[in-house]
Chains A and B, each alone.
Chain A
Amino acid sequence: MIATQQHIDPKLIAILETVSDPEIPVLSIMDMGVVRSAIIQDDFVKVQITPTYSGCPAMDVIGDDIKKALQEAGYKSEVELILAPAWTTDWITPRGRKALEDYGIAAPLGAEADKDVLLHGKRMVKCPQCGSINTKMVSQFGSTACKAQFQCEECLEPFDYFKCLK
């Protein structure tokens, strides 16, 4: 995993963990790696978040949800959207990857593996339903910007694959 400078005040971690991505409710924004910094100054909190994809419509909602959660904990806050360093799927925590799998979304492979899977149709993406790797890509683009559509040839269920983004 790439080490990146994440400055999050330990007092805020539990609060921020209650906020989730509205499109993937099982995944907290902390496990997703979109919170880049959260600093307390007096009773005011400054939070920086970064989008997964430029056009991700969830970012506005996430910003509002952060403010609401902090307000309930007694903090006034400001949320800023930053673009650099750009988000990568490497920032999804192991707990986040597990949450994705449990929810029925295959977690991202590495960048090179992704190229093989998406370009040459290699069988490497594991079906989150039955665990088979006998799966095929239906489309590089799925129900949200961050996902591709797959189908399992074993249990025949369709499923989402969280695309690797580096």
Chain B
Amino acid sequence: MNNTNLYHYILGIADNSLILGQRMGELCGHGPSLETDIACTNISLDLFGQVRSYYQYAAKIANDGRTEDDIAMLRKERDYVNVLLAEQPNTDFAYTMARHFLFDVYHFLFLTELQKSKDLTLAAIATKSLKEVSYHQRFSTDWIKRLGDGTEESHQKMQNAINDMWTYTDELFHQTDADKAMFAEGIGVDVTKLKAVYYDKVNAILEEATLSIPESKYFQKGGKKGIHTEHMGFLLTELQYMQRAYPNMEW
């Protein structure tokens, strides 16, 4: 491999979208209404589309005979480096939207910066994806407000979801070795610099949604190092089933 850091950097971005895309895709046929069902699967499709661009590029960098599908489908749990937030389950629709919202705000800020990357492939994927992610962010923000500032029950459910998902937000701003190396080369984004803007944006929307901003200072981490929550194995079982059961099958 000619550039190990770049390969790991790409996976760090792509795995988030793959795993979150899988979670949103789980709602296909199970959304609370037809419109939300279609919206969640549309979002999933956008994320998977972005993921293909990243993994195709990663396969080119790896140059070891693996394809985009191998990278997406045939790694072991410890080799996925998505943030823990992305893999959290669809406990109820409030959880789904809280998770998505907390990721979208980050995703939008991150891609905005990645557009400036010296790596033209990554910059192009970022510019393309950003247009889609701005729609995602509108959708989830809208639901945070509707449920937060809704009925007593919807408010409580959204508050519970935000409280539980909050613990996974800090990890978004942890730098890996690949992050540092790629930032030094003008290719990657310094995520630590996004943190203040992120919480300002999130907090303003939570306030508008009449939700309380969680005060907890305890945060979970590990995903970026391949150490995942108990949900990840189940998710991968479903994601990888076809490739494991019928090796090399193609759509």
Asked whether B38 lies within 8 Å of A54 as measured between CB atoms, the reply is no
Closest residue on chain A to residue B42 by CB atoms: A141
Taking A54-B52, A141-B38 as contacts, is the C-beta distance between A86 and B127 under 8 angstroms?
Answer: yes
- Are A166 and B38 in contact (CB-based, < 8 A)? no
Is A119 in contact with chain B by the CB < 8 A criterion? yes
Q: Given contacts A54-B46, A55-B46, A140-B138, is CB(A84)–CB(B131) below 8 Å?
A: no
Indicate whether A55 sits within 8 Å of B49 (C-beta atoms), given known contacts A83-B125, A86-B127, A141-B39.
yes
Interface residues of A in 76-135 (CB under 8 A from B): 82-87, 118-119
Do the beta carbons of B131 and A86 come within 8 Å of each other? yes
Residue among A54, A84, A166 making CB contact with B49, cutoff 8 Å: A54
- Tell me whether B124 and A83 are in contact (CB under 8 A): yes
Proximity bits, B143-159, A CB within 8 Å = 1, else 0? 00000000000000000
Cross-chain contact B46 with A145 (CB below 8 angstroms)? yes
Min CB–CB distance B39 → chain A (angstroms):
4
Per-residue interface assignment for chain A, residues 55 to 86, with 1 indicating a CB less than 8 Å from any chain B CB and 0 otherwise: 11100000000000000000000000011111
Of A84, A140, A145, which one neighbours B45 at CB under 8 angstroms? A145
Interface residues of A in 124-166 (CB under 8 A from B): 138-143, 145, 149, 163, 165-166
Q: Does B35 contact A (CB under 8 A)?
A: yes
Shortest C-beta distance, B59 to chain A (Å), equals 15
B132–A54 contact, CB under 8 A?
Answer: yes
Interface code B110-129, partner A: CB below 8 Å = 1, 0 otherwise? Answer: 00000000001101110111
Residue of B49, B131, B135 touching A140 (CB-CB under 8 A): B135
Is A33 an interface residue, CB under 8 A from the partner? no
Write out, one digit per residue, whether chain B residues 20-46 have a CB within 8 A of any chain A CB (1) or not (0): 000000000000000110110011011
Residues of B within 8 A of A149 (CB): 35, 38
Number of cross-chain contacts by CB at 8 Å:
74
State A138–B36 Cα separation when bound (angstroms). Answer: 10
A54 to B130, CA, bound (A): 10
Partner of A53, one of B46, B121, B123: B46
CB of A84 within 8 A of CB of B124, answer yes
Interface bracket on B? 20 to 34
A54:B42 contact, CB within 8 angstroms: no
Query: Which residues of A sit under 8 angstroms from B43, Cβ to Cβ?
Result: 141
Please, how many angstroms separate the alpha-carbon atoms of A140 and B142 in the complex?
11
Minimum C-beta distance from A11 to chain B (A) = 29
B48-A55 in contact (CB<8A): yes
**A86, A139, A141, A143: most-surrounded residue (chain B CB, <10 A):** A141
| A41 to B: closest C-beta gap in Å | 24
Q: Does B47 contact A (CB under 8 A)?
A: yes
The interface residues of chain A lying within 8 Å CB-to-CB of B52 are: 54-55
Task: Say if the beta carbon of B139 comes within 8 Å of chain A.
Answer: yes
Point out the residues of chain A lying under 8 angstroms from B132, CB to CB. 53-54, 145
Chain B residues near A143: list those with CB within 8 A: 38
Q: Could you tell me the distance in whole angstroms from the C-beta of B236 to the nearest C-beta in chain A?
A: 21
Query: What are 6 A-B pairs at a CB distance below 8 A?
Result: A53-B45, A54-B46, A84-B120, A84-B124, A85-B127, A145-B49
Closest 5 CB pairs of A and B: A55-B49, A54-B49, A84-B124, A139-B35, A141-B39
Binding site for A on B (CB under 8 A): 35-36, 38-39, 42-43, 45-50, 52-53, 120-121, 123-125, 127-129, 131-132, 135, 138-139, 142
- Residues in chain A within 8 A of chain B (CB atoms): 51, 53-57, 82-87, 118-119, 138-143, 145, 149, 163, 165-166
